[in-house]
Structure 1
Amino acid sequence: MTNDKHVPRIVIVGGGAGGLELATRLGDRLGRRGKAEVVLVDSQRTHIWKPLLHQLAAGSYDSHAEEIEYLAQARWHHFRFRQGRLCGLDRAQREILIAPLLDAEGREIIPAQRLGYDYLVLAVGSQTNDFNTPGVAEHAIALDSPQAARQFHERLIDACLRAQNVPVAAGGGRFTVAIIGGGATGVELAAELHAAAQVLVSFGLEHIHPERDLKIVLVDANTRILSVLPERLSEAAARELRKLAVEIHSNERVVEVSAAGVRMASGSFVPSQLTVWAAGIKAPDFLKELDGLECNRLNQLLVAPSLQTSVDERIFAFGDCAACPNGAGGWVPARAQAAHQQAAVLAANIERALAGKSLKPFTFQDYGSLVSLASYSSVGSLMGSLARGSLFVEGQLAKLMYWGLHKQHQMALSGLIRTVLITLSEWLDRVHRPKIKLH
Structure 2
Amino acid sequence: MARKKIVIVGGGVAGLGLASALGRQGKYNKKNPLDITVLDRDSAHVWKPMLHTIAAGTSDISQQQTTYVAHARDCGFSYQPGELNGVERQLKQVFVKELNAPDGRRLVPERTIAYDTLVLALGSEANDFGTPGVKEHCYMIDSRIQADAFNREVRLRMFQCLGLDQQLSIAIVGGGATGVELAAELVRLTEIAESYGAQGLGSKISITLIQSGPRLLDAFPPAISEAVQQKLELLRVKVLTNTRVTAADEHGLSIQGGERIAATMLVWAAGVKAPQVLSEIDGLACTRNNQLIINPHLQTIGDPSIYAIGDCASLTLGDAVRPLPPTAQVAHQQATYLIHNLPRMLDGKRVSEFRYRNLGALVSLGEYDAYASLGQFGLFKDGYIRGKLAQLSHAMLYRSHQSNLHGFWRGSALWTVDQLNKLVRPSIRLD
So what's the TM-score if we normalise by structure 1? 0.95
- 2:181 corresponds to 1:183: no
Verify the 8 A CA contact 2:358 2:376 in the aligned structure 1: yes
SS in 1 for 2:429: coil
Change in Cα spacing, 1:127 to 1:253, as seen in structure 2 (3 Å) is same
CA contact (8 A) 1:252 1:266 kept: no
Are 1:348 and 2:340 counterparts?
yes
1:122 aligns with 2:115: no
Pairing 1:419-434 to 2, within 5 Å after superposition: 419-434=411-426
Give the Cα–Cα distance (whole angstroms) in 2 for the partners of residues 373 and 315 of structure 1.
Answer: 38
Q: Could you tell me whether the CA contact under 8 Å between 1:41 and 1:82 is conserved in 2?
A: yes
Contact 2:374/2:380 (8 A) holds in 1: no
Structure 2 match to 1:23: 19
**Equivalent in the alignment of 1:95:** 93
How far apart are 1:354 and its partner, in Å? 2.1
> In structure 2, what is the equivalent of residue 374 of structure 1?
366
- Alignment deviations for residues 293-324 of structure 1 (CA, whole Å, 9 cap, x no partner): 22110000010010000000000001000011
Q: Distance in 1 between matches of 2:375 and 2:104?
A: 49
SS in 2 for 1:127: coil
- Aligned residue in 2 for 1:336: 328
2:250 is the counterpart of 1:259: yes
Tell me how far apart the structure 2 counterparts of residues 326 and 49 of structure 1 sit (CA, whole Å).
Answer: 26
Q: Matches of 1:189 and 1:330 in 2, distance apart?
A: 28
For residue 310 of structure 2, what is the aligned residue in structure 1? 319
1:423 maps to amino acid: W
Count residues with an aligned counterpart. 428
Aligned match for 1:278, one of 251, 269, 275? 269
Q: Within 2, Cα distance between the matches of 1:278 and 1:402?
A: 21
| Contact persistence 2:2–2:33 (CA under 8 A) | no
Aligned partners of 1:119 and 1:314 also within 8 Å: yes
Structure 1 Cα separation of the partners of residues 236 and 110 of structure 2 = 51
- The amino acid across from 1:225 in the alignment is L
Cα separation, 2, equivalents of 1:271 and 1:95:
48
TM-score (norm 2): 0.97
Please report the RMSD computed on the Cα atoms of aligned residues, expressed in angstroms: 1.3
Q: Give SS of 1:282's match.
A: coil
One-letter amino acid matched to 2:67? E
Query: Cα deviations across residues 147-167 of structure 1 (Å, max 9, x unaligned)?
Result: 221121122111111111235
2:240 is equivalent to residue 215 of structure 1 = no
Aligned partners of 1:330 and 1:276: how far apart in 2?
Answer: 28
Bigger shift: 354-363 or 71-80?
354-363
- Counterpart residue type for residue 3 of structure 2: V
2:304 is the alignment partner of 1:306: no
CA distance in 2: counterparts of 1:32 and 1:368, whole angstroms: 37
1:197 equivalent among 190, 193, 197: 190
* 1:104-183 to 2 correspondences below 5 Å: 104-167=102-165, 173-183=166-176
SS in 2 for 1:12: strand
Shift in Å at residue 361 of structure 1?
1.3
2:394 paired with 1:402 = yes
Q: Does 1:238 align with 2:229?
A: yes
Q: Which amino acid aligns with 1:54?
A: H
C-alpha distance in structure 2 between counterparts of 1:111 and 1:348, whole Å = 36
| CA deviation profile, 1:199-253 (whole Å, cap 9, x unmatched) | 1112232242x1x211110000010000111111111111111110111100010
Paired letter, 2:145: Q
Aligned equivalents of 1:273 and 1:251: distance in 2? Answer: 22
Q: CA shift at 1:72, angstroms?
A: 1.2
Shift of 1:108: 2.9
Give the aligned partner of residue 41 of structure 1.
39
Unaligned ranges ≥5, structure 1:
168-172
- Give percent identity, aligned residues only: 37
Q: Offset of 1:100 from its aligned partner? A: 2.0
Q: Quote the offset at 1:112 in angstroms.
A: 2.4
CA distance in 2, matches of 1:225, 1:100: 40
Q: Secondary structure at the match of 2:363?
A: strand
CA distance, structure 2, for counterparts of residue 361 and residue 30 of structure 1: 24
Deviations 1:256-297 (A, max 9, x none): 111111121033321100110000110001111113222110
Tell me which of 234, 243, 247 is aligned to 2:238: 247
Contact 1:94 1:118 in 2 (8 A): yes
Query: Quick check: 272-281 or 350-359, which moved more?
Result: 350-359
Aligned equivalents of 1:353 and 1:392: distance in 2? 38
8 A Cα contact 1:383 1:390, kept in partner: yes
Distance (whole Å) between structure 2 residues aligned to residue 385 and residue 163 of structure 1: 48
Partner of 1:170: none
1:356-367 alignment runs, 5 A limit: 356-367=348-359
Cα deviation for residue 31 of structure 1 reads: 4.7
Q: Aligned partners of 1:406 and 1:157: how far apart in 2?
A: 26
* Structure 1 residue 332: Cα displacement: 1.1
Aligned letter for 1:232? Answer: A
Give the CA deviation at 1:58.
Answer: 0.6
State the Cα distance separating 1:116 from its structure 2 match: 1.1
- SS of the equivalent of 1:383 reads coil
Answer yes or no: is the 8 Å Cα contact 1:380–1:398 preserved in 2: yes
Q: Take 2:278 and 2:80, find their aligned partners in 1: how far apart are those partners?
A: 20
One-letter identity of the residue aligned with 1:192: E
